[in-house]
Amino acid sequence: MRNMFISIIIPIYNAERYLENLFNSLKKQTLNKSNFEVLFIDNNSNDKSHEMITKFVNNFKNNNYKYYFFNKKQGSYASRNFGVSLARGNIFAFTDADCILEEKWLENIWKFYEVKKNKNIIVAGNIEIIIEKLNNLWEQYDKIVSLNNEKYVKNNSAATANLITPKEIFLNVGEFKELFSGGDSEWTKRAFEKGYNLKFMPNIKVYHPSRKNFIEARDKIFRIGIGRGRKIACEKKSIILNIFLYFLRIFYIATNIKISIKLIKKVGINKTILFNICFFWLRIFQLIGVYKGYKNYNNSHFSC
């Protein structure tokens, strides 16, 4: 691809505990700084994110790193769309504030798109979950079920924690739908329907922290439920029928068995039994989230 320039777009919301690791990984990138820019899109944070990003950006005179405050609409997909409207690059690289970029992340993106035949391909990069304690049940569970772009690609989907696309493709497919959750999956499936290929690239890698306890796992699964409920309300479907169908889907016993077999190898049978007890309650919280998302849809600002 001629005159290549990469725009990294990172939505930020109350991310102060992650930013130092993100900054360090950006500074270690092996790609020449004249070949990329970083857009930090602060989506109305009320912690120290603003101060930390401003300080980081001001340390560089070459204008590679840019800070933008965005409070017109709350949501990570709205933030990404705003970032796209400001980006100068002909390659868009999306990642998240809690990710750590492997030092050759940008260099490997560059090498991929230098190859002419790859200009019409969307990249789903590798997302490796960081495990701090090998015997931690919830860390191991998170690694099994979360952010597996290699698996997602088989269903024409990918996570924006590590998603790269040429600008031309993005403009043709259109902006992210500004959903509460799942906007990345919706966008990549829309791109596939337009005839674009999605490819998993293991060497284009970022690292993502694991969820470390039941509360963090519960909050994530509750958020997924809310997103599902809002989609049901938006599409004007029956809440009773769809909660029943969703119940059958999330309590699918084969899924539980697969997860349990993997967990036994990692944390032993006793912790796996505990997991299955807790997992039942996680699914209940997910169903509650569906109902809450459905009931509150009219009061939300998210797209259908």
pLDDT tens string 263-283: 999 889 999 999 888 888 888
- For residue 235, which amino acid is it? E
Q: What is the pLDDT of residue 49?
A: 94
- Report the distance separating Cα 117 and Cα 113, nearest Å: 8
Q: What is the pLDDT of residue 304?
A: 55
- Phi, psi of 258, rounded to the nearest 5 degrees: -60, -45
Q: Which residues contact 35 (CB under 8 A, 6 or more apart)?
A: 4, 5, 6, 106, 110
Residues of the chain under the 50 pLDDT cut: none
Q: Given CA atoms 258, 132, 134, 104 in this order, what sign does their dihedral have?
A: positive
Kindly write down the DSSP assignment for every residue of 133-162, as one continuous string. Answer: -TT-HHHHHHHHHS--HHHHHTTT---TTE
- Report the distance separating Cα 198 and Cα 120, nearest Å: 9
Q: What is the pLDDT of residue 299?
A: 62
3-state secondary structure (DSSP) of residue 68: strand
Q: What is the pLDDT of residue 37?
A: 96
Q: What is the pLDDT of residue 151?
A: 93
- Residue 244: other Cβ atoms inside 10 A: 11
Out of 3.90.550.10, 3.40.50.1100, 3.40.50.10300, 3.40.50.300, select the CATH number for domain 6-209. 3.90.550.10
- Report the distance separating Cα 64 and Cα 94, nearest Å: 16
Instruction: List helix spans (H) across 97-236.
Output: 105-114, 137-145, 149-153, 167-173, 183-193, 214-234
Q: What is the pLDDT of residue 293?
A: 83
Q: What is the pLDDT of residue 303?
A: 59
Q: Is the pTM of this model over 0.75?
A: yes
Strands 121-130, 91-95: pairing is unpaired
pLDDT in tens, 96-143: 999 999 999 999 999 999 998 999 999 999 999 999 999 899 999 999
Q: Which residues contact 119 (CB under 8 A, 6 or more apart)?
A: 1, 113, 166
Domain coordinates in residue numbering, the chain:
6-209, 214-299
- Report the distance separating Cα 208 and Cα 142, nearest Å: 11
Q: Which two tokens stand for residue 178?
A: 């500004």
- Report the distance separating Cα 123 and Cα 145, nearest Å: 20
